[in-house]
Structure 1
């Protein structure tokens, strides 16, 4: 009897001291509430980064930043480069267990291009046959179809070597047709969200945080190493950095606080990676005084961008001397920036001269009131204040500053209600065409009211040109017009600069693309 009791006691001790298998949770900061988690509507980093991990498209960018099979296990391209045929994985499922079929891709891509959807990403799909007319409400045919449940065909208007990279964008992710038809608001809450990515959306406390959980129905679930991803929403670089220091975050978003750069630049936990994108400013040419080219150029040339980047922005960022970011190599093996050259410079003397000419052309005895609008965060505030001071010092112009919460700011900018405003562009795919197409007449990305017939013709010609060298030269010429007309002026080129704990590995980041947590691990 005593032996029996001792045996039970020993057994209970073994149970009590046996290690429990703890869940591995990755702690991150998504900065802000996603604008939308619908693939056709989410069109900013705060939407794309969750979307890229709770959903998946036909292809996914690999370690070399090239499009690789994902939901599509294979694909073929016709000899003329017009027809893409994708064979879908039969083991690919939705997070609710439904089979994922070619019909879901037809449904989601059609929805994105439907003018009623008003998708900000629709321009990315205009290479598809019939898409331009369909998106303008002038046609009903689209070059996409389900050959059968697991074969998806896409027909293009003209060959496009960047097409596979383009469709790696989250806006081309599928949507569960049945779920969307049953509940048009399926994407607004975690309990109704149905995805197909490495993770599923477990919890969504709006404006506070997202919680992702490993998706047991993901076709490649064995490659997923972390059990959970906890994404807070903290739109303050200093607070985010302090959370990292106190081990509340495993990595920070980019960027780090500018004031911390000199102290941290040699820290082994600081990561500095290239990214294709530009921080810039927009003039609304539909509002005085920026309906005058000389006044726009005067403002742009009065900003000492080198000093602003060196002493205010910091973070290893480079002053922008054109709109297209460096890193795009042309058919002549030269970087686009090398071919295009420096298209903007600081020259306070010339700026004053241009301002005087512009005011004379407009009949101004004094300049109309100017307001610079920006997003409410410490980084944008410091940049705006520095620009305000430089315009006063170098041009003799007083401007007002206006800070706004991001959703209000971007809604007003899209509606052309801002006179002079900060902006940013991150390439959707690896091609300078993507940067420059934003400013064609009527583009949803233009947001300046600027229209230039010659520019439009060059961009259209580049889109249709099959000779790589000619296409490249058309884009170089177009950028020169953009910077000469100055509806915008660039400040700096983006990089990805962030802190990451040494025990976190396998997170994939791309110069063009979105954070990929599929193979992330945490020791």
Structure 2
């Protein structure tokens, strides 16, 4: 399951969020890389340390992680915990670049196809086992195994033989990853991929202690069996209630970790988590939309970019959205500026394209500026599209339409705003329906919903991450859209070695999404977080997963 920049991982305001790039998802919603319930935002403050003087940071994860199996937990509510319990070959550094992680160094062949990673001699698991190359081989082949049904498997397709194996057309033995020796991993790509080191920062590429997993396939399900290789280890996990992390003394860079404990609550309500922040039960929190005007300019507010998009998918296999003009009618009837300013608030920006600002092209231009606005608010044009579409389909009136969103106070407010706009500008009454996350994702994936909310949080720092979500048969597609021409653009947008030409393919692909209007953008994300006094050092990457390695609490 796209990386870039926009605010509002604000934790519960939605976050989500399922990628993804394939992904929402995202938005990434559990697979989209979602944004579903504020991964990292809205989190905690002073905790009673029992007089021990421990440094304990209290945060809010919003909801229960989908899974702490790196191949399955493909969403923000899983990524944020995973990124602090585990570590891949590369890790985003303080400058948001892919730097050394479990791999200390690497070599890249002249043709850009072979990467040789040299693991740290002192890289260990939380149980004391050494981190070895076979742990990565095991984890990646497990992710790609068709039986695993990993929503992240598509990310592995950059590797030679990976797509064929995952689709059932190839052998696991042909996947281009092998342990040269205990501390050397060799990866062969299907085509040169200049952003591959960024891709590897995604939790889907984290290693798995293969000895532990072979003995206990459910090693990731409980605190007493969980084994990680990151800055923290999982001390306790009361499902749907809380998780407690403690410093991992076996981590290769443990001396950098300042916190003794991190406490994650699971509160899926923006106002409740804000009240917890006010009472000192949380150290960080998102700002409830209705309090944005009075709080947004405070000294204790962190505001930063966050790569992601909230959007609505049209199911092109069901009436009336099989018609392109009717889809466009709904898209052009949306006043995105009003939704951003008066509904979501917190400084978010309306989205007139699919790729969020912050991706810099080979020529130095921002992708969004270069490709311009692709959809706008135009009620008169919307009415014309509706008239044309109904005539094409022979409709005297439209079939009943239901707009579905995953349960969240902010999602509900946005859905109600859309309902009102469709009534005002198109004269169409739209029913609203909310579903809990797991049920919602399954229904959306099975093409059971007409028009449904989605969010996409970039998995890695390249525009193709979002755009590839809509290739034919992608797990992230969820619209029924299929186009050989679009698939070809994305293939070229991944493999073209001339960077400027590669970006031209991506510009064309985004324009095609707008022309087909299989999904309509609503707003870009950003990160807006209240922080208690004394909290510092939390890394919030524009594209990536929040990092507590350098966090401190004075």
Distance in 1, Cα, partners of 2:516 & 2:150 = 28
Q: Distance in 1 between matches of 2:541 and 2:297?
A: 23
1:257-406 matches, cutoff 5 A? 257-406=288-437
Confirm whether residue 245 of structure 1 aligns to residue 278 of structure 2.
Answer: yes
Alpha-carbon displacement from aligned partner over 1:339-369 (angstroms, at most 9, x marks no partner)? 1110001111111111111112112121111
* DSSP-derived class of the 1:168 partner: coil
1:104 aligned partner: 135
Residue 31 of structure 2 corresponds to: none
Distance in 2 separating the partners of 1:155 and 1:508: 31
Residue by residue, what CA displacement relative to the aligned partner does 1:271-328 show, whole Å, maximum 9, x if unpaired? 1100111111001111111111111000111111111211111110111110000111
Of stretches 101-110 and 131-140 in structure 1, the one that deviates more from structure 2 is: 131-140
Q: Is the Cα contact below 8 Å between 2:287 and 2:295 reproduced in 1? A: no
SS of structure 2 residue aligned to 1:318:
coil
What displacement does 1:375 show? 1.6
Q: What is the alpha-carbon distance in structure 2 between the residues aligned to residue 72 and residue 333 of structure 1?
A: 30
From 510, 519, 523, the counterpart of 2:541: 510
SS at match of 1:435: helix
For normalisation by structure 2, the TM-score amounts to 0.89
Aligned equivalent of 1:156: 189
Q: 1:92: how far off?
A: 1.3
After superposition, what is the alpha-carbon deviation per residue over 1:98-120, rounded to whole angstroms, capped at 9, x for unaligned?
12110110000111111111111
Aligned position for 2:202: 169
Aligned to 1:179: 212
Following superposition, the deviation at residue 67 of structure 1 comes to: 1.0
Deviation >3 Å, runs of 4+: none
SS state at 1:57 partner: coil
The reply to whether residue 205 of structure 1 matches residue 272 of structure 2 is no
Partner Cα separation in structure 2 for residue 365 and residue 266 of structure 1 = 51
Structure 2 Cα separation of the partners of residues 135 and 375 of structure 1: 29
Q: Partners of 2:62 and 2:472 in 1: how far apart?
A: 32
* Alpha carbons 2:268, 2:408 under 8 Å: kept: yes
Counterpart for residue 29 of structure 2: none
Distance 1:143 1:391 in 2: 50
SS of the equivalent of 2:467 reads helix
Separation of aligned partners in 2, 1:72 and 1:435:
27
CA distance in 1, matches of 2:450, 2:63: 25
CA RMSD of aligned residues (A): 1.1
**Residue 222 of structure 2 corresponds to residue 189 of structure 1:** yes
> How far did residue 20 of structure 1 move?
6.3
Give the Å deviation of 1:256: 2.1
Q: Determine the C-alpha separation between the residues in 1 that align with 2:249 and 2:154.
A: 34
DSSP 3-state at the match of 1:319: coil
SS of the equivalent of 2:220 reads helix
Does 1:454 find its partner at 2:485?
yes
Query: Aligned partners of 1:189 and 1:413: how far apart in 2?
Result: 29
Work out the CA distance in 2 between the residues paired with 1:99 and 1:430. Answer: 30
Superposed CA deviations along residues 207-232 of structure 1, whole A, max 9, x for unmatched, are: 11111111121111111111110000
1:453 Cα deviation from its structure 2 partner? 2.2
- How many residue pairs are counted as aligned between the two chains? 503
Cα deviation digits, residues 209-262 of structure 1 (max 9, x gap): 11111112111111111111000000111111111111100112xx42111110
Task: Tell me how far 1:21 sits from its aligned partner.
Answer: 4.5
1:21–1:204 CA distance, 2 compared to 1 (3 A): closer
- TM-score (norm. length: structure 1): 0.95
Alignment of 1:462-481 (within 5 A): 462-481=493-512
Instruction: State how far apart, in whole Å, the 1-side matches of 2:201 and 2:344 are.
Output: 31
Name the SS for the 2:309 alignment partner. strand
What's 1:220 paired with? Answer: 253
CA distance in 1, matches of 2:515, 2:290: 34
The equivalent of 1:144 in structure 2 is 177
Secondary structure of 1:217's partner? coil
Contact 2:224–2:235 (8 Å) recurs in 1:
yes
Paired with 1:442 and 1:256, the residues of 2 have a C-alpha distance of 38
Please identify the structure whose Cα radius of gyration is greater: 1
Distance between the aligned counterparts of 1:394 and 1:492, measured in 2? 20
Instruction: Tell whether 2:104 aligns with 1:73.
Output: yes
Q: Distance in 2 between matches of 1:407 and 1:241?
A: 25
- Name the counterpart of 1:415: 446
Q: Distance in 2 between matches of 1:451 and 1:137?
A: 21
Between the aligned partners of 1:164 and 1:464, the Cα distance in structure 2 is 15
Q: Report what 1:230 is aligned to.
A: 263
CA distance in 2, matches of 1:481, 1:310: 28
**Equivalent of residue 92 in structure 2, options 61, 64, 67:** 61
Q: Which stretch of structure 1 is more off in the superposition, 73-82 or 274-283?
A: 73-82
Question: Which residue is 1:8 aligned to?
Answer: none
CA drift of 1:502 comes to: 2.7
| Structure 1 Cα separation of the partners of residues 335 and 113 of structure 2 | 47
Q: Deviation per CA, 1:146-197: give whole Å up to 9, x if none.
A: 0000101111121111000000111100001111111111111111111111
Gaps of 5+ in 2: 1-49
As a proportion of its length, which structure holds more helix? Answer: 1
1:75-94 alignment, distance < 5 Å? 75-94=106-125
